[in-house]
Amino acid sequence: MPALLSDLQLGFSIALSFNNILLCLLGCLIGTLIGVLPGIGPIATISILLPFTFGIPPVGSMIMLAGIYYGAQYGGSTTAILVRMPGEASSIVTIMDGNAMARAGRAGAALALAALGSFVAGTFATIVLGAFAEPLGRVALYLGPEDYFALIILGIVFAIILAGGSLLKAVIAVLFGIILATVGTDVETGAQRLTFGLPSLLEGLNVSILAMGIFGIGEILHNLESPQGRPMIKEAIGRLWPSRSEIKRSTGPVLRGTLIGSALGILPGSGTLLAPFASYVLEKKISNDPSRFGHGAPEGVAGPEAANNAAAQTCFIPLLSLGLPPNAVMALMLGALTIQGIVPGPQVFTKNPDLFWGMVASMWIGNAMLLVINLPLIGVWVSLLKVKYRLLFPAILLFCCIGLFSVNRLPEDVYFMAGFGVVGLALAKLGFEAAPLLLGFVLGEALEANFRRVLILGDGDWTTFVRSPVAATLLLGALLLLSAALFPKVRKGREEVLVEG
Amino acid sequence: MARADIKGGPHYVRGPQDVVAGIVVIVLAAIILHALSKISTTSYSTFSPALFPKICTYSIAAGGLMLIARGFLREGPGLERTPLRPVLLVTLAVVSFGLVTPVLGYAVSGLILMLIAGLAARDVKFRELVLVSVILIGASVVLFTYVLKLTMPALILPWISL
């Protein structure tokens, strides 16, 4: 405990430096902005900003990027409550009761409950992150290559199961992502793999090109197809402070949502999507009067909002302690760290303690900032909702292009981005999710490196993969999970949850 | 790619999206395998650098076959029509950005990008688009060239450069 306190003290001393406070604020503002705006999410935004983080010190860039991610969770709920549209995918659940409250003239209270719930959850999740990441990292130091290989496989299986849509297609998407990761000059043999004679592919594909293409451009192409109705805010926001009974009813859901979110965030997969849904289902189940849900029950706003914010923070644990990103946003964070020359994993705590603790402390500061950004300043964000998509998307496109071009000043990078944009659209048309592909891409390199190490250490003996009890258990777990997901009953349940969510 | 609804297609195809996805996946896997087969395995390393990607690609191909089979056996979603206009305009906009930036700088290419891309919206209003583009380009030059100091030419003209 005293160690934790002194670590946190170190963290706050870093996070409270002038530049880092500014970067944290910037991240939270950008996060709220893109959270409020439907049509652009944290994945696209972070990939657009990746090239610009090159010039910022590692701690500062992580503080800013993290701020964007959890800031988007706050902003997304604003749009969900006020215009019955998910600003972010993770705020879909909030629409049901949040918008019902708004229609009953309690929009202000719903916004306040969402923000306060998120704040409580964020504070708790920060402590979880600080307390659990390092011990987990210490355990990770004892893992051999076969254990790491098995761990990555287990992570991928989790991500596949928790991804929406077809299981089979998610598997294929992950595999394609892994294949894309092998493009370029092989580090160990110097062989050129899948470069198709293109010199710009010799160094491999850049994560920001892939992410900007598939998520940034691909989403634009997808949105342009369906004419979006202009979001309308009909009701007045009303008094911001929730009533005493609303606060009383929300306390339990916030605490339970925080716990659910913290736990689900650590699991690989889309924790921020699943956690609010799990919280909503739980609250509805234990409620004395489930019929109020869907008609403006404050529990249905406070619980899920707390859950998604907690998950948005604890999902940093596997990234920082094991070097394994549990979702697509964390995959980009891994990219951001790699650009800075930092390899996430157990050694982060000893080599870059300032990075880890600075980020943890900044999350708490950021959550406090977001409370101010989102409640008293709500009017600003509401007016931004009036920006029309026909002007928003050329601007997004412009920032994608300038950002990408500024890195290498190669026109080919931009062409590749456009190409992946079309790929992203095609994926959506054929029913594939893009997030597993990106996750596969980011994990691919580590997966192959460990795969090779195992084979070399075992002298080509394939049983080496299951020789260590840890690896065998993890692989068995992955196999059981995957086969359980194929069972008709489980499959149906999974589809119900994820389709509705 | 998806050109039109294949509702009028053969009736034994119950999930057209799955069948087409499966075919696309198998074609891609074949291309990848072909490219991987060209990697020389004469390196001193014990394992071919193509081994790992090959395992993944064979799994992908197997997945593709399963998708096709599923498309014949189980009811599934059909294919949606894809309007080509936004795809072509957005791609054209990005490509022209890549072509023009090294020659004239991003102030010019960015303007071209926004004007071409903006046409992809159904409710485009050209005067509004021009106005917003000019303002946004101006703001970008201030932000990227003067504040963030990106080493990227904003404007290259024979007689002037920023």
Secondary structure (DSSP) of B75-138: ----PPP--HHHHHHHHHHHHHHHHHHHHH-HHHHHHHHHHHHHTTSTT--HHHHHHHHHHHHH
Query: Between chains, do A390 and B67 touch, taking CB under 8 Å as contact?
Result: no
Instruction: Please classify residue A118 by burial: count the beta carbons closer than 10 Å to its beta carbon, then call 0-12 exposed, 13-18 middle and 19+ buried.
Output: buried
Taking the C-alpha atoms of residue A277 and residue A271, their distance in angstroms, rounded to an integer, is: 10
CA distance A322 to chain B (A): 23
- Kindly tell me if the per-residue pLDDT of A499 is higher than 60: no
* Calpha distance A316→A358 (Å, rounded): 13
Nearest to A65 by CA among A331, A250, A260: A331
| Distance from chain centroid for Cα B103 | 24
- Which residue from B35, B70, B118 is facing A194, i.e. has the nearest CB? B35
Q: Could you tell me the sign of the dihedral formed by the alpha carbons of A89, A94, A100, A102, in that order?
A: negative
Q: Give chain B's mean pLDDT.
A: 86
How many alpha carbons lie under 13 Å from residue A285 in its C-beta half-sphere?
A: 7
**pLDDT, mean of residues B125-131:** 94
d(C-alpha A304, C-alpha A302), whole Å: 6
pLDDT at B6: 47
- Over residues B5-12, the mean pLDDT reads 58
Best mean pLDDT range from A2-6, A162-166, A465-469: A465-469
Contact check, Cβ <8 Å, B106/A179: no
pLDDT confidence of residue B44: 52
**Mean pLDDT, chain A, whole residue set:** 86
Mutate to test the interface with A, among B94, B95, B146, B149 (most CBs of A within 10 A): B94
User: Is A191 in Cβ contact with B67 (below 8 Å)?
Assistant: no
- Using DSSP's 3-state secondary structure scheme, residue B160 falls into strand
The pLDDT score that the predictor gives to residue A1 is: 61
pLDDT at residue A409 greater than cutoff 90: no
| Minimal Cβ distance to B117: which of A397, A399, A456 | A397
DSSP secondary structure string, A136-151?
HHHHHTT--HHHHHHH
Inter-chain CB proximity A460 and B46 less than 8 Å: yes
pLDDT band, residue A172 (cuts 50/70/90)? very high
SS (H, E, C) A58-105: HHHHHHHHHHHHHHHHHHHHHHHHHHCCCCCHHHHHHHHHHHHHHHCC
Residues A443-461 have pLDDT tens digits of: 888 899 999 999 888 888 8
- Determine the distance in angstroms separating the CA of B17 from the nearest CA of chain A, rounded to an integer: 6
% of chain A at pLDDT higher than 70:
94
Residue in chain B nearest A451 by alpha carbon = B52
Angle between helix axes A434-457 and A411-429 (nearest 10 degrees) is 110
What residues are paired with A192 via a beta bridge? A185
Query: A305-331 b/e with 16+ CB inside 10 Å = b?
Result: bbbbbbbbbbbbbbbbbbbbbbbbbbb
Distance from CA of A367 to the nearest CA of B (A): 27
Q: What integer is the mean pLDDT of B24-44?
A: 84
Chain B residues lying within 8 Å of A415, measured CB to CB? 94-95, 98
Q: In chain A, which residues have their Cβ closer than 8 Å to the Cβ of B77? A: 431
Is the pLDDT confidence value at A229 over 60? no
Chain A residues in contact with B53 (beta carbon < 8 A): 178-179, 182, 193-194
Residue in B17, B106, B128 nearest the CB of A430: B17
Distance of residue A25 Cα from the nearest chain B Cα, in angstroms: 17
CB A470 within 8 A of CB A149: no
**Distance of residue A1 Cα from the nearest chain B Cα, in angstroms:** 41
Q: Is the pLDDT of residue B69 over 90?
A: yes
Evaluate if residue A73 carries a pLDDT over 60: yes
Of A168, A193, A455, Cβ closest to residue B53? A193
The A residues from 169 to 198 touching B (CB cutoff 8 Å) are 169, 171-172, 175-176, 178-179, 182, 186, 188-194, 196
| Of the listed ranges A437-446, B43-52, B133-142, the one predicted with least confidence | B43-52
pLDDT tens-digit readout, A457-484: 888 888 889 889 999 999 999 999 888 8
Closest CA to A453 of A443, A463, A464: A464
Which range is least confidently modeled, A125-129, A441-445, B112-116?
A: A441-445
Those residues with Cβ within 8 angstroms of residue A379's Cβ, 6 or more apart along the chain or in another chain: A237
Q: pLDDT confidence of A228, banded at 50, 70, 90?
A: low
For residue B41, give the chain A residue with the closest CA.
A191
Nearest alpha-carbon partner for A72 in A30, A107, A114, A104? A30
A282 inside 8 A of chain B by CB = no
Q: What is the pTM of this model?
A: 0.84
Q: Is residue A363 pLDDT above 60, yes or no?
A: yes
pLDDT digits (tens, 9 = 90+) for A328-351: 889 889 888 888 888 888 888 888
**What pLDDT does A96 receive?**
87
Q: Are A79 and A85 in contact (CB under 8 A)?
A: yes
Question: For A421, which residue in chain B has the nearest alpha carbon?
Answer: B91
Instruction: With CB atoms and an 8 Å threshold, state whether B17 touches A431.
Output: yes
Select the highest-mean-pLDDT range: A129-133, A134-138, A492-496, B54-58. B54-58
* Lowest mean per-residue pLDDT among A54-68, A485-499, B108-122: A485-499
Candidate ranges A105-109, A241-245, A330-334, B25-29; pick with highest mean pLDDT = B25-29
| Residues within 8 A of B (CB atoms), A 241-280 only | none
The answer to whether A427 touches A218, Cβ cutoff 8 Å, is yes
Contact A390/B90 with Cβ under 8 angstroms? no
Is the CB of residue A268 less than 8 Å from the CB of residue A491? no
* Residues in chain A closer than 8 A to B104 (CB atoms): none
The whole-number pLDDT of residue B3 equals 41
Q: What percent of chain A has pLDDT over 90?
A: 36
Q: Do A225 and B86 touch (CB under 8 A)?
A: yes
Predicted-complex ipTM score: 0.89
> Are the CB atoms for A149 and A166 separated by under 8 Å?
no
Spatial separation of the C-alpha atoms in residues A304 and A403, rounded to whole Å? 35
Cα A376 from chain centroid (whole Å):
27
Closest CA to B53 of B42, B67, B44, B41: B41
Angle between helices B84-104 and A411-429 (to 10 degrees): 170
pLDDT recorded at residue B162: 54
Among B21, B101, B124, select the one facing A411 at the smallest CB separation: B101
Q: Give the span between the Cα atoms of A269 and A164, in whole angstroms.
A: 10
Confidence bin at A271 (pLDDT 50/70/90): low
Q: What is the pLDDT of residue B2?
A: 41
Crossing angle of helices A389-408/A42-49, nearest 10°? 40
